[in-house]
Structure 1
C-alpha cells in the first residue's frame, strides 16, 4: 500500500466545453509510452467521476510527487480560445470535485489537498483556481 501525503488537483488544459473523457486521456498517455492515464480520477464537464489509474499504482501527473499522491483532474482549464487559462469548471464539475476530495480525505486523512501549481512553478495556472485544503469552490 502506498503512503498518500498529497491529493493534487489538475485541469487537463483543454478549452471550455471539451468532451474529453478518461478513455481519451488514457489513449493519449499510452501514445506517449505511459502505462495509461496518469491521473487517478478525471471529471468531465458533466460531473461524472471517472476512474483512471488505480489508487494503489503510482500516477504520472506531478513530477517528483507521483509516488505519494493521488492525481485528480477536471476536463477544461482554458477559455474557449484554447489558449487563455481560465477556471472553466461547470457547476457539475465543482460538485463532483468537492465530493471526490471529501471521499479521498476520508481515506487519506493526513493528505494535503493542493493544486498542481503549488508543487510545480512551471504550471502556474493549473488547475485554474486556488485550492485551499480541500475546498474546491
Structure 2
C-alpha cells in the first residue's frame, strides 16, 4: 500500500443543482483527457452518496505533484448556476458525507486535509477545505 499524507478535496466545477454521475466524471477523464481511469478516489453526488472511483491502492490523477501520497475526493458542484463564478454549492447531504468520509479516511490512512486550491491556482473546491476541516486534521 502507498503512503498517504494528504486528503485533497475537489469540486467538479459544475453548476449548482446539476447532478452529474460518477460515470460522467469518469468519461471526462478517460475519453476526453485520455487517462486510464477517473482521477479521483471518491466522488460525492448531490444526494450525498459516496461513490468509489480509482482504487486507493493506485495513485490518483487529481492534484499535479501531489498524487503519489494523497487521496482525491470530489463533490459534484462548485459553480453558480450560470457557470460564471465559483460557489460553495454543497448540499447538506454532501457536507455530512464529506465529514464522515474524511474521518474514515483519517482513521485508516492518516494524513492532513487540504483543498485542491492549496496546490493549484484554482478556486477548487469553492470553499477553504483546509480551514473547514482543520479540526479533523488536527485531532489525529
Assess same fold via TM > 0.5. Answer: yes
Q: Which residue of 2 aligns with 1:90?
A: 91
Question: Tell me, which stretches of 5 or more residues in structure 1 are unaligned?
Answer: none
Distance of 1:15 and 1:112 partners within structure 2: 28
Quick check: 1:41–1:73 contact (8 Å CA) kept in 2?
A: yes
Distance of 2:54 and 2:114 partners within structure 1: 19
- Following superposition of structure 1 onto structure 2, how do residues 1-137 of structure 1 map, counting pairs within 5 Å? 1-31=1-31, 32-109=33-110, 111-120=111-120, 122-123=121-122, 125-131=123-129, 132=131, 133=134
- How much does 1:5 deviate? 0.5
More helix by share: 2
CA distance 1:68–1:41, shift in 2 (3 Å): same
RMSD: 1.0
TM-score (norm 2): 0.91
Q: Which runs of 4+ in 1 moved over 3 A?
A: none
Question: Tell me, which stretches of 5 or more residues in structure 2 are unaligned?
Answer: none
- How much does 1:83 deviate? 2.0
SS at structure 1 position matched to 2:68: helix
CA distance 1:134–1:63, shift in 2 (3 Å): farther
Distance of 1:134 and 1:34 partners within structure 2: 34
TM-score (norm 1): 0.93
- How much does 1:134 deviate? 6.0
Quick check: 1:8–1:114 contact (8 Å CA) kept in 2?
A: yes
